[in-house]
Amino acid sequence: MSVNLAYSLSMAGKKVVLLDADLGLANVDVILGLTPEHNLFHLFHEDMTLDKILYETPYGFRILPASSGISDMVSLDRGQKLDLLDAMDTLEDDVDYLIVDTGAGINDNVLYFNLAVQERLLVITPEPTSLTDAYALIKVLKLQHGVEHFRVLVNMVKDRKSAKDVYIKLLNACDHFLDGISLDLVGFIPFDPNVRNSVIAQTPFCHKFPKTPASTAVRQTAQKINAWQVTNNTDGNIKFFWKKLLFQEQSVA
């Protein structure tokens, strides 16, 4: 979903960078059929600059690839977070959208990146495990960090009614057990066999099958994202969010 949103936003004329934040099990490059020479491992362990790691895809957007199968990347320490902060600061004037694709779960990296971004888009499916994982993330971010606003995209459903049923299940769980949570339903992506075919072909389905129902739905989602109002913050840039998060960590320590 992150890959196809990045593609759709870039086709709309936006400058997009996709950060593969599933640092220990990275797969964005695999989904795209690409073999970048460098990744974030080289930033942390070989002092490589971000411009050498950024990889221009054939689809109009750039990726920041991560490594796969390297245990050192599973949980970033404070020094690595500072290194990433300094590196990301160089992107401020050259990016309209920085999409951060995290893994599932509530490990340290997932929480860190969810706290660093301006908007959180939860991609859920009708499977009970998906709803459980989404609720767990919402609960931790709410109770431990005070995050209350989330957006939801329902994936792999039959129709709008099915999507709304899935969304309501998550909404009811949050309303029952957590106070003050705001869940906005952005839309839904219908189940589409062309998605699997494009994954096998290692090509974004919005590119390979532009007229398929799933591609149409992703483009509509990208249009909605373009209409989101940017939250006003102290200085409104990437650096602010990451510095704020590191300050919170130091206060806890």
Distances from the Cα of 116 to the Cα of 4, 6, 84, 219, 243, angstroms? 22, 19, 12, 25, 9
Structure tokens at 62: 């750039």
Tell me the DSSP string of 214-245: HHHHHHHHHHHHHTPPPPP-SS-SHHHHHHHH
226 falls in which pLDDT band (50, 70, 90)? Answer: very high
Q: Could you give the CA distance from residue 237 to residue 241 in angstroms, rounded to a whole number?
A: 7
Q: What does residue 154 show for φ and ψ, rounded to 5 degrees?
A: -95, 125
Mean pLDDT calculated for residue range 7-22: 94
Query: Strand pairing of 97-101 and 121-124?
Result: unpaired
pLDDT confidence of residue 77 = 77
Q: What percent of the chain lies above the pLDDT cut of 90?
A: 63
pLDDT in tens, 24-74: 677 899 999 999 998 888 888 877 888 899 999 999 999 998 876 555 556
Buried-state track 218-246, b at ≥16 Cβ within 10 A, e below 16: bbebbeebeeeeeeeeeeeebbebbbebb
234 falls in which pLDDT band (50, 70, 90)? Answer: very low
Mean pLDDT calculated for residue range 99-114: 87
Average pLDDT, the chain: 87
Mean pLDDT calculated for residue range 194-209: 96
Answer whether 35's CB lies under 8 Å from 14's CB: no
